[in-house]
């Protein structure tokens, strides 16, 4: 067998052993109670519902692969019907492990209908040294839909002395309301991640960051968030054009989790997922 044939065989074997996962979930409201109307699971992704018979349905995402590695590909599609309310979380912090080269890819697409509410509250994503994550989140909101979208990233397990010397992160969000783009953002880090996080304009040495996006959001929401005290990290909040955004930066994942819980609790709009406070 030629060297080229051996390389192709190695590549094919690697690809065949990568994790794939897909979830398609649709929910609707019946007599004031949100119920699932369609659930499709494939690969290593599962979704479970620890709270049933409530006005808001809690959907817990489970990755049976035990983490994500280079070459893995995961897709999530969620449809929230009129007046339905859903809280989406994860069973544990998601871990993105080192890769031999290929990227880890995650694609999330969500549609939220009129007078419906989406609370996207997964636990943290932990990036390991030499991991490479590409994540895209797209949300389409009806004019009267409501949303809380929270995502937290932790760079390494600082409690175990881990440092991300090298890695790559590309995180892209696109939020539309009534088919009009109302928010777009992206994070791109490549190469010496820890060195870049040490720069004051980026993270000032912090190893954990998060963003919470609220639609609708206004100055009153921002004022309530700014009034939260006893925070362990840094926080900034602002509002414009009917939405509000909160940025977090902390020394480690524990401090970030504390601050996220404090801010989300201050909103008083939805209970935190049970696994956040277990």
3 state DSSP class of 81: coil
- CA–CA separation, 34 and 172 (whole Å): 29
- CA–CA separation, 247 and 238 (whole Å): 9
Residue 13's pLDDT is what?
46
Supply 65's token pair. Answer: 């692969």
Residue 254's pLDDT is what?
92
User: Would the CA dihedral through 196, 199, 204, 209 be positive or negative?
Assistant: negative
**Residue pLDDT, tens place only, 30-88:** 999 999 999 999 999 999 998 765 678 999 999 999 899 999 999 999 999 999 999 99
Which segment, 3-17, 46-60, 229-243, is predicted with the most confidence on average?
Answer: 229-243
For residue 17, pLDDT beyond 80: no
**CB 130 within 8 Å of CB 102:** no
- CA–CA separation, 201 and 217 (whole Å): 26
CA distances from 159 to 123, 178, 245, 255 (A): 18, 44, 29, 12
CA distances from 226 to 146, 150, 255, 262, 265 (A): 21, 17, 17, 11, 13
- CA–CA separation, 236 and 228 (whole Å): 11
- CA–CA separation, 88 and 97 (whole Å): 23
For residue 9, pLDDT beyond 60: no
- CA–CA separation, 171 and 36 (whole Å): 29
């Amino acid at each position: 067998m030629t060297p080229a044939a051996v390389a192709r065989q190695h590549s094919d074997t690697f690809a065949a052993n990568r994790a794939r996962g897909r979830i398609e979930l649709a929910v609707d409201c019946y007599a004031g109670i949100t119920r699932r109307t369609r659930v499709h699971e494939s690969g290593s992704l599962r979704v479970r519902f620890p709270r049933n018979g409530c006005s808001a349905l809690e959907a817990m995402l489970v990755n049976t692969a035990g983490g994500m590695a280079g070459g893995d590909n995961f897709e999530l599609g969620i449809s929230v019907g009129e007046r339905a309310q859903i809280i989406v979380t994860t069973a544990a912090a998601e871990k993105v492990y080192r890769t031999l080269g290929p990227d880890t890819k995650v694609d999330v697409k969500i549609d939220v209908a009129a007078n419906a509410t989406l609370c996207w509250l997964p636990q943290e994503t932990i990036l390991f040294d030499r991991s490479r994550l590409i994540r895209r989140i797209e949300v389409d909101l009806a004019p009267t839909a409501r949303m809380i979208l929270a995502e937290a990233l932790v760079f390494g397990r600082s409690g175990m002395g881990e440092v991300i010397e090298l890695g790559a992160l590309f995180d892209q969000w696109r939020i539309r309301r009534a088919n009009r783009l109302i928010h777009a953002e992206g994070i791109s880090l490549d190469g010496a991640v820890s060195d870049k996080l040490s720069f004051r304009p980026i993270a000032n040495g912090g190893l954990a960051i998060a963003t919470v996006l609220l639609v609708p959001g206004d100055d009153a929401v921002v004022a309530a968030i700014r009034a939260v005290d006893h925070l362990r990290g840094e926080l900034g909040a602002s509002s414009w054009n009917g939405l509000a955004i909160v940025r977090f930066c902390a020394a480690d994942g524990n401090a970030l989790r504390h601050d996220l819980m404090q801010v989300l609790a201050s909103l008083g709009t939805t209970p935190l997922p049970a696994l956040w406070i277990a």
